[in-house]
Structure formats: C-alpha cells, structure tokens
Amino acid sequence: MGIEKPLEPPKNGLLVPDLVPVAYEVFDAWKLLIKGLAQLLHVIPVHGCSECSEVHVAKTGHHIRDCSGAYNRRRHSSHSWVKGSVNDILVPIESYHLFDPFGRRIKHDTRFEYDRIPAVVELCIQAGVDIPEYPSRRRTNPVRMLGRRVIDRGGNLEEPKPWRFADPSSLNDFDTYRASERFPRPSLSDLPKIAQETMGAYETVKKGVRKLMRKYSVKACGYCTEVHVGPWGHNAKLCGAFKHQWRDGKHGWQDATVDEVFPPNYVWHVRDPSGPPLDSSLRRYYGKAPAVVEVCMQAGAQIPDEYKPMMRLDIIIPDSEEARMIV
C-alpha cells in the first residue's frame, strides 16, 4: 500500500541485546561439543554406511536391512559399514557467511566470493558474536523497508573482501572436519566427565539455536538440505532435488526449523554395545536416540528424561524365537 511499517530488531538490522549472551553461549557450547565428540570417538566405536546416511554406534554394525543407497538390491538392502567420524554424528549443515545480511544477495556467478561455514556459527555471528576472520556489519541506524523492498540500508559501508580475512586455520575451532586428529585420546577415568560435558553442550546448543531462531530469520530449501541464515535466501542455482530443471536449479526458500539447522540425526539405541548386532526381525522393539546422545550414553553420561521414551527403555526385547509367537 506504499506505507512504511516500523520494524523491530533484528528485522531492522540491529542486534537484540538480550540475545547477544545467548549467541556467545551457543558458540562456546558448539566448540565444546565438537571437542568432546572428537575425544569420545577415540573410545566409542561409530560406524557409517558408505552407501547411505545410516549411522550406528556399537562395536559392530547392525543387521537391519534398510539401506537406501545405490545398488541396494544387489546387497539385499544390507548396509556397507565403514569407520565413522564426527561428521557422521554432527551432520554438517553449512551456510554462506554474509558481512551484511541486508546487503547484496548472493548470485550464482558470485557464490565463490563467499565463505561457507557451519550454519550454527553463522547464526551466532549475526546474533552478535564477533569473529575477526569473519566480520559482520553492526548497524547503528536501522534498516527501512517498504514491503519487501529496502529503501534505506542505514548508510553505505564498503563490504570487505572475504579472502582478506578468511584464514583456513581459524575455522578449525568450530568446524567438524578432521576434528578427531586435533584432540588426543582421553583416559578412561575422564571419559564419563567428558561425556557429561558433551551432553550438556549438546543441550545448550539445541536450546540456544531455538531461542535465536525465534528472532533471527533462517531459510531452508523445501526440496534439498540447503540452509541460508538471513532475511531472504540466496540466488545460487545449486538445488539438485527432484525436478530442479523446472526451477532452473533455484531453491524453494521457506522458514527453517531447528532440526534443519541443527539436525538430531537419530540412530538405533543399543542397550548392549558389546552384544549381538541388532536384527531386522526385532526392529519394532528397538528405540532410537540422537547420535550425540547415544555416543555420550555409551561413554557414561546420564540420559536426559526427554529422550527416554523414544529410546524405549521400558520394553523387553524378546529373542528371535519368542518374537515369532507374538502377534
């Protein structure tokens, strides 16, 4: 209607002062989570399927035939297990780092001029965390918008070139790539303490991301797993999901959920990691849990009450012969 509507932070480009401590808390917990998982994986065995995204936390891979990878018919849907890493536990969801979320939109031809960092870290940066290698514009004058069109960006500021600041070694503290090589194997006496700290860091990140996303805009593609932190999505034509040719490779942006930014990555719960592998005939008696929770539990951490129902701890698992007599 041509009427300018006053915007509140952070929709007007200004920070929310009450959420700045939350952003720093999430950022510190994210680094602690990566460090703890990297140490625990030296002791707790994790397996990943080389053909699909299935992950299993036990001494041996399970025998449940639910592989959806390539040529699964030749393997009768059996998984092809290999040694897992931190990336199998924490699903790497990355986003473009933006100096000014209300500035120029990322185009397909300019996508290589922007760094890709974990979406949780980018959300913390836009919420107030200052990282010298990844600068972000902190406005003092609000952004003015008429509908969806920006009519005043709060003054012009030259955007720094990403390659002047980006240092590959600076990403190591908050990135999961080869994290196990950066942290030594812990002693068995310290394992329960590390597991409990890692569990606490996981809960802090999950609750903190939920608080930040109530105010700060995060977009997710409705067709693929691409995530973008900012008031609107980028224009890079990288979507390869079903019928992407009809959309010219463009993403279908919509409001993201917490599970799209910080996926729980559910795995089968194993009551006895040293026992026999899980069997397909008994799969309806098994429970599930987030991969981080399963790793920490096997390392000696206490299970939060919210995960106990989904892990189905109150169900007695029968043997194969008993299962045949159950209707």
DSSP per-residue string spanning 48-66: EESSSS-EEESSS--B---
Instruction: Please give the Cα distance from 298 to 44 (Å, whole number).
Output: 7
Structure pTM?
Answer: 0.90
Q: In this structure, is residue 64 part of a structural domain?
A: yes
Q: In this structure, is residue 250 part of a structural domain?
A: yes
Instruction: Please give the Cα distance from 54 to 69 (Å, whole number).
Output: 10
What per-residue confidence (pLDDT) applies to 323?
67
Query: pLDDT at residue 213 above 80?
Result: yes
In the chain the beta strands, taken as DSSP E runs, fall at: 46-49, 55-57, 81-83, 94-96, 116-118, 144-146, 149-152, 218-221, 227-229, 253-255, 266-268, 288-290
Q: In this structure, is residue 36 part of a structural domain?
A: no
The share of the chain scoring above pLDDT 70, in percent, equals: 93
Work out whether the CA dihedral 152, 158, 163, 166 comes out positive or negative: negative
What per-residue confidence (pLDDT) applies to 195?
96
Same domain, residue pair 186 and 256: yes
What per-residue confidence (pLDDT) applies to 326?
66
Same domain, residue pair 180 and 250: yes
Same domain, residue pair 160 and 46: no
- Please tell me which residue, 267 or 158, carries the higher pLDDT value: 267
Query: pLDDT at residue 18 above 90?
Result: yes
Least Cα distance to 225 among 117, 115, 93, 123 occurs for: 93
Query: pLDDT at residue 184 above 70?
Result: yes
Same domain, residue pair 118 and 258: yes
Range in 144-153, 184-193, 271-280 the model is least confident about: 144-153
Question: Over the stretch 299-323, which tens digit does the pLDDT of each residue have?
Answer: 999 999 999 999 998 888 877 667 6
Same domain, residue pair 216 and 125: yes
Same domain, residue pair 49 and 117: no
Domain count, the chain: 2
Same domain, residue pair 123 and 254: yes
Q: Which of 263, 282, 307 is the last residue of a domain?
A: 263
Same domain, residue pair 125 and 55: no
Query: pLDDT at residue 164 above 50?
Result: no
Question: Over the stretch 28-78, which tens digit does the pLDDT of each residue have?
Answer: 999 999 999 999 999 999 999 999 999 999 999 999 999 988 888 888 999
Query: pLDDT at residue 205 above 90?
Result: yes
Q: In this structure, is residue 89 part of a structural domain?
A: no
Q: In this structure, is residue 240 part of a structural domain?
A: yes
- Contact between 290 and 263 (Cβ < 8 Å): no
Instruction: Please give the Cα distance from 178 to 165 (Å, whole number).
Output: 22
Q: In this structure, is residue 182 part of a structural domain?
A: yes
Q: Which of 237, 263, 289 is the last residue of a domain?
A: 263
What per-residue confidence (pLDDT) applies to 104?
85
Same domain, residue pair 72 and 102: no
The share of the chain scoring above pLDDT 90, in percent, equals: 62
Q: Which of 239, 263, 287 is the last residue of a domain?
A: 263
Query: pLDDT at residue 237 above 60?
Result: yes
Same domain, residue pair 207 and 327: no
Same domain, residue pair 275 and 247: no
If you average pLDDT over every residue of the chain, what do you get? Answer: 89
Name the residue range of residue 57's domain. Answer: 42-84+264-327
Q: In this structure, is residue 37 part of a structural domain?
A: no
Q: In this structure, is residue 90 part of a structural domain?
A: no
Q: Are strands 46-49 and 81-83 parallel, antiparallel or unpaired?
A: antiparallel
Same domain, residue pair 72 and 7: no
- Give the pLDDT band (50/70/90) at residue 180: confident
